[in-house]
Amino acid sequence: MAKTRGTIVIEPERCKGCDICVAFCPPQVLRLSRRRNSLNHRVVELFDPAGCTGCEICARVCPDLAIVAVYRERVHA
């Protein structure tokens, strides 16, 4: 049985910590980290990479285009 696993690439300097991607993430694998960018905004992070499906919803809802890439691969369980 194949499963989809994904990962994302975040550009921290574009992130303003608005939390929209966190709210819209279906598998709920995103959160605001303690790390801050040069504008003192908390930066979003993928805290559970094994749970990411690569659905791209986070990238689509990000108003600042901070999620710059989404990768997806099929893995056999």
Q: What is the pLDDT of residues 12-71, one digit of tens each?
A: 999 999 999 999 999 999 999 999 999 999 999 999 999 999 999 999 999 999 999 999
Number of domains, the chain? 1
- Picking from 13, 2, 3, the residue whose alpha carbon sits closest to that of residue 52 is 3
Distance of CA 34 to the CA centre of its chain: 15
Domain containing 53 — which CATH number? 3.30.70.20
Torsion, Cα 54 28 62 39, to 10 degrees, reads: -120
Please give the residue range of the domain that contains residue 12. 2-76
How would residue 77 be classed by pLDDT, with cut points 50, 70 and 90?
A: low
